[in-house]
Structures are given as structure tokens and as C-alpha cells.
Structure 1
């Protein structure tokens, strides 16, 4: 049975060729270069956050993780976790764009949850990997909705209480999704059926690992953000002059 080929990342990576499977898409590299120029020219609010976001996007889209995510659902989930739980808040720090205003917190948190669940349902997931446009629709909607959510959570005008509730709600919905994936009695993500054997695991084990990553690993950035928000709210503010 041939390995499934993701339209953008290419054929599923195998152990023998993983480290040579770098993505050199010129449009992607040009986009990252433009973003790097913006950060280097001092147009970002937080240059360190901007450079870290660029580095993580290179890991997600340029490094062999792209090809590995064609082979393993667990690698794809790792890709998505990095995108929505690390890249998105870093981009918020680098490019808060306060002039755009801040949408209400509840709708953006709910919309992000719907998008995360939608793209991890077996049918939409397979569709999202089937063509280049749908692949980028998946990536951009995940990142865009996460950016909006983090932007509202980290907004100076958002009180600590609602921000913490939003983070807890996001941890809860991702944990529930991860648990459903872990305890599914059979493999659901058929696009990876032919490629997991090369990595010495079954499709079900790959799926269970993916669920655990979403259930446990993904909560760490949200917990860290919650602790930072709590600490910031407890610090005494300097009196206005």
C-alpha cells in the first residue's frame, strides 16, 4: 500500500530520509523573510517574541517536522500545538495591533474551540491535507483564530478573571478533545494508516500518542500564561504621577 502524500508537505517521511526532508517552498521562505525584515526593522512591539515566533514557524513548516506530520498524526498534532499555543501568543506579543480594537472574549474563545475541533474531526482533517489550498486554509484558520483568542486574553483591558476563565475553558476543550482521541476504540485518521508501520507503531498507538499530546502537553503554555496573568494582577501598580 503506498504511503499517503500530503498535498503540501509531500510523501510521508520514513526514518531513513527524515533529516533530508526540509521544505524549501520559495513562497513560504519569502513570507518568513518578509516577517523577519519587519522584526529586524524595529516595527514589532517585542522583537524577541517576533524572532521566536519566526523560529517556531520555521520548525513547523520548514524543518523535517513538516514531512513527519505527513506520516504520523502525533507529529501533526505537535505541529498544531506549536502553532496555536506558542506561535500565536508570540505573534500577539510582537504584533498586538491595538488600533484594530479587541473583539469580545467569549466569541473569540468559542470560535477558536470550534475551529480546533473541526480540523481534528476525521473528515475535515483528511480534506485539509488533500490539496495545497485546503492545507493552508487549515493552518491559517487555526493560527488566525488562536491569534485572536490570545490577543483578547492578553489585552491590557481584559481583567485577570475573565482572561483566566478563557484559558481554563481552552485547556478544558482541548483536554476533552485529546481524551476522545486517546480513548477512541479504533484508528480514525486513515490518511496515516500506511505510514505508521515505518516508525514501528500502529495507527491506534499513533492516535493515542496524539491525544495525550493534546491532552497533557498542550496545556503547558496556557498554564504558564495563566500564572503570568495571575502574578501580574497581584503585583502592586505604580501610582500615577
Structure 2
């Protein structure tokens, strides 16, 4: 059994369905950190929206629900890596293009590694490991999206966004078609919601497989439009 540094679940015990909407996380350290981030990014166009997504992930009842339901945990992770990360990346100062291959490989490896049953279950019963999970998922996704936004020409951004879409869909498909429940952390709580652990896992896989790919598709469309406009501008010149 791995040594636990700070035993316990960060968002507490999974709430029953009738209390779920009242299970807000009002951790003062978390709220102070989010408020500081909001102040620093207030003047940017996408920063406040990115902070708002983090509030939804960590402060709203979704935080507590994700302790019990794998499907809610998938929504939480998707909000981090596919919604908050690109919004925050766009709010930061522009960076010079340096290639997206390494950020893609690192962010993909971390996303898949944290969904290995042993790593996943440890993160949900150890608060220190939980925050390592959150920091590495968000940080690596932020790195990836920064590289996509800095890519030279629309086609490069399109291709890397497509790569992100494909890896997210592949992980979702594997979770959807897994024949048995993979996560001990969600062995009991889904029953209170009228779901078997396997059905909850399949729902989470479907969320990662289809809706989670929409932000990548949006980036593909935006990048293609940016590339087309740049090409049209050169043609006029």
C-alpha cells in the first residue's frame, strides 16, 4: 500500500443526491488563490472566464460530486484541461513559437497516467497527491495550449489541436468499453445515484469521448480561420 502523505479526500465525503447541490467547497486558501488569479488576469479577455471555470471545478458542488462519481470526475478533468487551460493560455502574454510536440507528449502522458487505476485511486484518498494531480493536469494542458496558440500558421495549430482531440477521444473510448469497473474509489457511491460502478465509468468515458472533444474542435475551427485569414492577407499584399 502506498504511503499516504495527507490522508483523506480534498472535497470530503461524496454527498448523497439530495444534498449534492448544497455541497459547496469554501476552502479559504482555495478562494484566496482564485481571487488573486482573477485580479492578475482581470484585464485580459479570457482570463476571468478561465478563473470562472476553475471556480466551477473546485468550488461548486461538482467538486464534492467528483469524489463519488467517476462521471463527475471526468467533467472536472475536462474543465481543467480542455476549457480552463486554453482560456488561461490565451490570457497570458504571447510567447514565441517553439513547437508543440513536447507539450503534447507531456500533457497526454500525464492525462493518461493519472487515469491508471492505482494513481487515480491514490489521488482520491490522499490530498497531497490530489493536488499534484490537479497541478500537473492543468499545468501541462496550459503548456500545450500555449504552444498551440503560438504555432506558426493555422495548419500547425489545427494539426496539434486534432492530435489533442484524438488522444482525448481514445482515452474516453477505452474507458467506455472497459469490461469491468477500474476504480475502487467509485465502487459504492454511484449506487446511491441509481448507477452501477460500470455504468458510471461508461458515462464518464462517453463524456470524455464526445463532449470533451468539442473544445478541441472549436480550436481547430478558430485556427483554420486564422490561417485562412493570414493566407488571404498575403494574397492581397
| TM value normalised by structure 2 | 0.91
Deviations 1:67-113 (A, max 9, x none): 00011000000000011001000001111353xx5543111101111
Residue of structure 2 equivalent to 1:64: 61
Q: Cα offset for 1:240? A: 11
Q: Separation in 1 of the partners of 2:11 and 2:135? A: 15
21, 26, 33: which one pairs with 1:31? 33
Q: Deviations over 1:203-235 (max 9, x none)?
A: 000000000011101110000100011011111
1:139 aligns with 2:134: yes
Match of 1:77 in 2: 74
Please give the alpha-carbon distance, in whole angstroms, between the structure 2 residues aligned to 1:164 and 1:50. Answer: 23
Q: Deviations over 1:111-150 (max 9, x none)?
A: 1110010011111101111211111100010000000000
2:178 is the alignment partner of 1:214: no
Are the aligned partners of 2:122 and 2:129 in contact in 1 as well (CA < 8 Å)?
Answer: yes
| 8 A contact 1:36–1:51 mirrored in 2 | yes
RMSD: 1.9
What is residue 237 of structure 1 aligned with on the other side? Answer: 233
2:25 is paired with a residue whose SS is: coil
Match of 2:3 in 1: none
5 Å-filtered alignment, 1:1-241, equals 7-40=9-42, 42=43, 46=44, 48-96=45-93, 98=95, 101-155=96-150, 157-235=151-229, 236-237=232-233
Distance, in Å, in 2 between the alignment partners of 1:68 and 1:162 is: 38
5+ residue gaps, structure 1, are none
In structure 2, C-alpha distance between the alignment counterparts of 1:83 and 1:206, rounded to whole Å = 20
Shift of 1:238: 7.6
Evaluate the alpha carbon distance shift between residue 214 and residue 36 of structure 1 in structure 2; reply closer, same or farther with a 3 A threshold.
same
Cα distance in 2 for partners of 1:212, 1:6 equals: 28
Contact 1:179 1:215 in 2 (8 A): yes
Contact 2:155 2:227 survives alignment (8 Å): no
Alignment gaps of 5+ in structure 2: 1-6
Counterpart Cα distance in 1 of 2:236 and 2:31: 46
TM-score (normalised: structure 1): 0.90
Q: Give 1 or 2: higher helix fraction.
A: 2
SS in structure 2 of the partner of residue 17 of structure 1: helix
